[in-house]
Structure 1
Amino acid sequence: MSIPVVDFSAFSLSEQNVSDEQLQKLSRELKTAFTEVGFVFLKNTGIRQEEVDRVLELSKLFFLQPEEEKRPFSRKSFSVNANHGWVSMETERLNPRRPGDLKEAFNVSSFHPDIKWPSGPLKDFQQTQTGFFQHCQELSLRVLRVMALSLGLDPEVFLGAHRLIGTDQNGTTLRTLYYPAVNHDSVKDGQLRCGEHSDYGSITLLFSFSEGLQVRRRSGEFVSAPVVPGAVLINVADLMQRWTSDRFVSVLHRVLVPPAGDSSTRQSLAFFVQPDDEAVISCCDGSNKYPPVTGGGYLNERFNQSYGQS
């Protein structure tokens, strides 16, 4: 399996006038990637590497703090949005049949005025995360437009269900992820840095510049995803597969524990695009292959699986 690399410069964040011919070319390329592989690397998106690096830098400063400094920002600490905040080591198990994942995360899911943000040395944390969230949102909507065109759909079929991104009526989340060095003497049987899973929503944007991610082929074999400097890795998520009656495929992926003697850490940023909580997702071809679900209802069902045993 080879993950395609697509040049998105014609519809990058800096481009306001994209021609029909350019959109058609992009739609053909994304359709091939998402129907055959489920993943695509997009280069020249308009998101600057310096911005990605700054988000990673501030996130690492947060994660390297003592636990008592991070605990006030824990997930489920904020009444306005239960998913916003810090996720401690082994709290989440993306494969519920395995021990807790060997990673930490910070979920940016809410911009409500009541949300408390890190301060002091991390005084730029909120502004940096917010700006990056907005750029990821804009890129996501452009990708969704091209995806709709690739299936011969009115773009509003997808875009109309994502109007509330950035509000508490939509579960879209920017996750900064930190995988600390692994103590192999304490690793539990079957434990991974990130268990096998498919993503929950519409699409996911992943910014990662170190190896470790593995993607499952249709044969069932997991293969390592390459690193493409400066590119954004985008994958189809479960609700999009349901929405398109399996035309676009949502693929299992994971992050393994490094081999003994490897003390490296790993960081990544993932932007999980969700339909609005009240948006009803039904098969866009008019079939009944999957029953209708709401964006929020499906998301909560998956959260219960990932956190229910922690």
Structure 2
Amino acid sequence: MSIPVIDFGAYSLNEKDISEEQTRNLSSKLKNAFTEIGFVFLENTGITQEEVDRVLDVSKKFFLQPDELKRPFSRKSFACHANHGWVSLEKESLNPVRPGDLKESFNVCSLLADIKWPSGAAADFQELHTSFFLRCDELSRRVLALMAHSLGLDPEVFKSAHRFVGTDKNATTLRTLYYPPVDGERVKEDQVRCGEHSDYGTLTMLFQKHEGLQVLGRSGEYINVPLMPGAALINIADLMQRWTNDQLISVRHRVLLPPAGDSHSRQCVAFFLHPDDEFVITCLDGSDKYPPITGGDYVNERFYSTYGHS
């Protein structure tokens, strides 16, 4: 199995006039990828590797600070959005049967004016993360329109469920991730950098700077995801699989420890798109395979599994 690569140039952020033929062609390719593999690389989206690198560079400045300087920005420190903020090393277990993941992250969930942002060593943190959040949001809406087209649905059917992205009424998150060098002598049994999991919401966009991600194939074996600078790796998340009555598939993935003796850190940035908290997800084909659930209730259930009582 290999992850398909699609040239998204005709539908990129730089394009305004898109022909019906281009729409049919791209939506067909996306549907094939999302029904067979669940992941796809999009090239020429309009988001450049230079943009990605700027976000990762400023986030690394934040992560390399002492914990006491990061702690004021901890997740659950912001009244307007509980998921916004810094997640410390081993705080999160995406596979709850494993010890805490060997990674840090910073979640950008809210763009409201009263959010406190890192400064000092990471002086451009707010500007760069806000800009990248908005770019990813715009790109995700283009992908959503094509996904709806591929299923024979109104092009607004998915977009209309994401009206409050960037506010306290939606769980969409831009997440910069930092995997520090691994000290083999301190690693717990069965501990990894990021445990096996599938994503929670609508879809995820990942921009990588280093290899390490593995995706579960239909054979039941994990495959290594190659590094494609400048490309966006898109995958279906669990609520979208539920929404489409399993037509589009959400697939488990992970990041294991680096080989013994490899002292490199790893970075990436991911945009996790979620439907609005109060939007009710029901199967689009009218079936009752999955009971109705709001976007907010679903993501809170998943957060409880990941973070427990922390």
TM value normalised by structure 2: 0.99
Which residue in the other structure is 2:262 paired with?
262
Asked if 1:59 corresponds to 2:54, the answer is no
Once the two structures are superposed, residues 115-141 of structure 1 have per-residue CA deviations (whole angstroms, 9 ceiling, x without a partner) of: 111112322110110000000000000
Which residue in the other structure is 1:157 paired with?
157
Which residue in the other structure is 1:181 paired with?
181
Asked if 1:71 corresponds to 2:71, the answer is yes
Q: How many residues align?
A: 310
Which residue in the other structure is 2:221 paired with?
221
Once the two structures are superposed, residues 220-253 of structure 1 have per-residue CA deviations (whole angstroms, 9 ceiling, x without a partner) of: 1111111122110000000000000001000000
Q: Is the 8 A contact 2:49 2:229 kept in 1?
A: no
Report how far residue 113 of structure 1 moved.
2.2
- What's the secondary structure of 1:168's corresponding residue? coil
**CA–CA distance in structure 1, aligned partners of residues 309 and 275 of structure 2:** 26
Which residue in the other structure is 1:195 paired with?
195
**CA–CA distance in structure 1, aligned partners of residues 226 and 128 of structure 2:** 27
Residue 207 to residue 146, structure 1, CA distance change in 2 (3 Å):
same
**CA–CA distance in structure 1, aligned partners of residues 77 and 180 of structure 2:** 24
**CA–CA distance in structure 2, aligned partners of residues 20 and 10 of structure 1:** 11
Asked if 1:46 corresponds to 2:46, the answer is yes
Q: Is the 8 A contact 1:141 1:159 kept in 2?
A: yes
Q: Is the 8 A contact 2:12 2:139 kept in 1?
A: yes
Which residue in the other structure is 1:32 paired with?
32
**CA–CA distance in structure 2, aligned partners of residues 43 and 50 of structure 1:** 14
- What's the secondary structure of 2:188's corresponding residue? coil
- What's the secondary structure of 2:157's corresponding residue? helix
Report how far residue 29 of structure 1 moved.
0.3
CA RMSD of aligned residues (A): 0.8
Once the two structures are superposed, residues 27-73 of structure 1 have per-residue CA deviations (whole angstroms, 9 ceiling, x without a partner) of: 01000000000000000000122111100000000000011110000
**CA–CA distance in structure 2, aligned partners of residues 162 and 250 of structure 1:** 19
Matches within 5 A, 1:1-310: 1-308=1-308
Once the two structures are superposed, residues 67-123 of structure 1 have per-residue CA deviations (whole angstroms, 9 ceiling, x without a partner) of: 111000000011111100000000000001110000000000012222111112322
**CA–CA distance in structure 2, aligned partners of residues 87 and 279 of structure 1:** 27
Q: What letter matches 2:109 in structure 1? A: S
* Runs ≥4 residues deviating over 4 A: none
Identity of counterpart residues, as a percentage?
Answer: 67
Structure 1 stretches lacking a partner, 5+ long: none
Q: Is the 8 A contact 1:277 1:294 kept in 2?
A: yes
